[in-house]
Chains A and B, each alone.
Chain A
Amino acid sequence: MKVDRRSFLGLGIGAAAGIAVSPVGMKLTDDSAIWTQNWPWTPVPVDGEVTYESSVCSLCPGSCGISVRKIDDRPVKIEGLAQHPVNDGGVCLHGIAGLQYLYDPARVKTPLKKNGDKFEEISWDDAIELVAGKLADLRKNGSPEKLACIADKEQGSVSGLFQRLLKTVGSPNFYTMPSLESYLEVTAAALHGEGMTIGFDLENSDFVLSFGAGIIEGWGSPVSCFKANASRKERHAKLYQIESRLSNTAANADKWIPIKPGTEADLALGICAVLLKYNLFDSMVASEFRGGLNKFAIMLQKEYTPSKTAEITGVKASDIEKIATLFAKAKMPVAVFGKGRGDGAQSLKELAAVHTLNCLVGNINKKGGAFVRQKSEYLEFPDVSMDSIADAGFAKNKTGRYVNQLIEKVNKSSKPAVDVLFVYNANPCYSLHDPKSVKQAVGKIPFVVSFSSFLDETAKEADIILPSHTFLERLEDVPSCAGLAKSVVGLTEPVIDPVFDTRHAGDAVLLIAKALEGSVAESFEWETYDECLESVAGGIWDSLSEDGYAIVSEGAPFGSASVNISFLADNPATVQARGDDKLTLIPIDNMRLISAGTAASPFAVKTVSDKVLKGQDIVVEINPLTGKGLKDRGFATLTTPTGTARVMVNFNEGMMPGVIGMVEGLGHTFDNKYVSNKGINVNDLIGPVIESGSGLDAAFGIKAKISKA
């Protein structure tokens, strides 16, 4: 066959037309797309029956109700629980990402014992025997008070069991990490008396005067605060935010009042002075004041005139008078303390000064005001039995007043001040100021027992780890300790069988107590923690188990509260930041990170802006005026009396000149690459400053300098 030009072209065009019209080409493209994407390693989640289980999130003190969607036995999604008294449906990002903690690469999968620098697996029986043996030795040597325990909180049955164990062993050394609840109690104790706590009725107040409280940055019970804030406009309520940085709360507020960092207490006293001077306070409440209201008033008129206050705080004198007038004239005003999340360092002067505003305008125990009520004691533990060793040990003085003093004592003493340390639900080697010195103290303690679910900074320093279930694997009562107007106890329920060889910390305590025998074991007669909870929660157990929560108190408490003003009347000194440099470094609370001991989840860290974290570099915020000589997005060296760090710079017009902001919650060293080794821990740069009188670590920040790297 002869191929001529005509037939060649004809064939070519024909073939081209044929291919274009034929579906084979398209089909092959489609098929190749499908078949090249069916990789065996792409997971195909198994389908099954859908069920929902209710529980309570205990990642923060907020204690929101959650609904867990399950496919057969697998939890696949956490959502907010509608009609729950704390959060009614909403939920925060950390709670939603809760399932990531179940399978966290840093989880402690079995009890561990330290051998040299390494951890070795150990059986539960051996681990319990070892811990009980150490406690028995302490008792034998007549020094049971050398057992100390650091827990996250005082409330709840698990914390109750730890306190009970310490008491029956014979040690008064039970400590909690600083939290909003602990500050509420300290404030209430100073002004109203021991055993009281404070709640703020934010959802009803028509004028919230916030002294840096990050109402939408995770302060208090976050979702409840979000809701109260969101309904503000409909309720025609106002929010005035006093803060040195334009936080999200400040940006969302009706007015942002920038203030020199660390002078919030002075501003609160300045406002008190205006209220007293112009008789703007509620004259009915004057009779409630003890400890020298006149002395207080005279001190204020001398030391806190608007012009003097303006000089200290940087807030204009006319603004101070205006704020005072608005606050006094509002129907249901409330002043709120607790900078950021409210769990960082605070001074009693600031806490008391702000709360005195509430006392002066007479909003105590009134709708939309501040509620002063008894700490809720909903648990009824049976009496303990203590032998003579326990009696003698328990009667001794605590080694330190707060956890900071404990650490300081341990570091300073040549002989071990503490022989055995229990750490439950707390990560002091990360979340206290100057973690290096905390680690040093923990290192000096001969035997440290961690009950952590994760190999966190403190667990790494432990000699024995008795890993706990995560909140999705355990039963526990969860009191909301977060300045809520109502007092609610939720019930966390297991939504999945334990993923690893972990145990309930409550059960671990029971096992240790039983191994100690004698009077200690007698005080722990329950077979399991679950049985213990059911019996000690007696009064509210029915409600807890049926509804998943119990409301202990709701609405304004009856009656008024007397106010002891003597602490403030003496005009205590305002705590100053450490150092001599011109700039002040302050920590920033960011809703998307967690500042307490737990690291944020991979999902939460993923949402963090590249203006907070870029690669492994932490980004600090600084006003362009202060950052002269520095470059936006450039590197700089940040130096404080406690440490030095290489940081990236972000020019932010929302920063007060002279202030550097660094986010809290980064710089973890867990074995979890998704959340660790990112940025630095701001606590490394800030050392504690103890307020005289109260003993609180009140380092709101530290003096710093920054230069081009």
Chain B
Amino acid sequence: MKQENNNAHKFGMVIDLDKCTGCGSCMVSCMSENNVPFKEDESNKKDSITWMSVYKLTNGKSFPDTEIAYLPRPCQHCGGKGDHGHSPCVSVCPAVATDYGYDTGIVSQIYTRCFGCRYCMGACPYHARYFNWWDPKWPEGMENYLSPNVSPRMRGVVEKCSFCYHRYQAARDVAYYEGRDDIEEHEYQTACTTACPSGAIVFGDLNNPAHKIHQIVKPDPHPDPRNKHVIGKSRNPKVFRLLERLGTNPKVYYLSEREWVRKQGDSYLDGEWDKIKNHHGTSSHG
């Protein structure tokens, strides 16, 4: 199935890992925006729900040559092999509780449809999905700060980052009310993007050459000659995606000047990295 729509958006994100300080503002902004609950002990990270999670990377060298970088990981909103919308999670969901939006490129999650089989969690190569093992509980009075824009989830369902889809809906409502066909770049920004005090996150439409993200990423619309499943590879040598060779085609890109950081986007056999590192999309369209 291939659905082409020339007006379709392809919302994506590029995160500058050289600017990221690992401060955690994106995580908290996400939790506050999306009514994510919290419990007494959140130090078991396997059952701690963080739609946006910041990983710490090290170059593995010993003192004093050690280096650190931080990598924020929202849902990667994969386009799936060939970017046709067959995201790993969407392909396995028996309840159509998660679906690919061909008009936005956003992978949705409909909590009331989910019956908690967790196939999607097994399929996701990025650990971006979380299961509600317990009903959420807020201390007395704290339910007063919950936002009506996002439904609180219940025990037994899977949840994940939605690229703040409710913000897209709100921006579209405003545009419709004002008689515009489409929204401006600044009108739809995710909660993590606006919160980042370092300005490390850039969010926008990968299909729109006027958007900043397009100018940074310069996505290659043609399949990667080395792997025809990979579409949208960046033509910027400093930009990479996580596990890019799987062909999941994430819409979250990462930027770093540091080679050791870029190398951590995947696992490489000995010598493999040196062959791959200088390959950035098809040259004819550079």
Contacts and interface: CB of A to CB of B under 8 A. Distances in A.
Contacts of A439: none
A214 B151 CA distance: 38
Contact of B197 (A87, A233, A625, A674): A87
B100 to A, nearest CB: 19
B35 A92 contact: no
Interface stretch (B64-72, B177-185, B218-226, B270-278): B64-72
A37 B154 contact: yes
A502 B42 CA distance: 31
B25 A93 contact: yes
Interface in B131-176: 135-136, 138-148, 151-157
A231 to B, nearest CB: 8
Contacts of A672: 139
Nearest to A231: B199
A246 interface: yes
A144 B31 CA distance: 50
A341 B64 CA distance: 23
A251 B40 CA distance: 31
Contacts of A102: 141, 145
Q: How many residues of B sit at the interface, in one of the four size bands? A: 35 or more
Contact of A226 (B39, B56, B146, B198): B198
Interface string A604-622: 1111111101111000000
A654 B68 contact: yes
A45 B147 CA distance: 6
Contacts of A609: 56
B68 A78 contact: no
A604 B23 CA distance: 10
Interface in B18-38: 18-19, 21-25, 27-29, 31-33, 35, 38
Contacts of B45: 610
A29 interface: yes
A673 B40 contact: yes
A501 interface: no
B215 to A, nearest CB: 15
A42 B154 contact: yes
Interface stretch (B5-13, B78-86, B110-118, B240-248): B110-118
A34 to B, nearest CB: 5
A399 B260 CA distance: 57
Given A43-B138, A605-B42, A592 B152 contact: no
Interface residues of A, number: 83
B48 interface: yes
Contact of A657 (B63, B114, B144, B154): B63
B2 interface: no
B146 A43 contact: yes
Given A46-B148, A591-B22, A80 B195 contact: yes
Contacts of B69: 251
Contact of B32 (A34, A97, A615): A97
B197 A90 contact: yes
Nearest to A591: B23
Contacts of B28: 93, 96-97, 601, 603-604, 607
A611 B50 CA distance: 17
Given A606-B42, A607-B50, A103 B68 contact: no
A659 to B, nearest CB: 10
Which of B19, B24, B191 has the most C-beta atoms of chain A within 10 angstroms of its own C-beta? B24
A9 interface: no
B40 to A, nearest CB: 5
A104 B140 CA distance: 9
Nearest to B59: A653
A603 B157 CA distance: 21
29 contacts: A33-B115, A36-B156, A42-B153, A44-B151, A45-B146, A74-B144, A80-B194, A90-B199, A93-B23, A93-B28, A97-B28, A100-B142, A102-B145, A103-B141, A103-B142, A226-B197, A230-B19, A230-B199, A248-B70, A251-B67, A252-B21, A603-B38, A606-B27, A606-B31, A607-B50, A610-B45, A615-B44, A657-B63, A673-B40
Interface of A: 29-30, 32-34, 36-39, 41-48, 69, 71, 74-80, 87, 89-93, 96-97, 99-100, 102-105, 216, 222-223, 226-227, 229-230, 233, 246, 248, 251-252, 256, 258, 499, 591-592, 601-611, 613-616, 623-625, 653-657, 672-674
Closest 6 pairs between A and B when the two form their complex, measured CB to CB: A90-B197, A251-B68, A226-B197, A93-B28, A103-B141, A230-B198
Given A222-B23, A672-B139, 5 more contacts: A79-B195, A611-B56, A653-B63, A656-B63, A657-B63
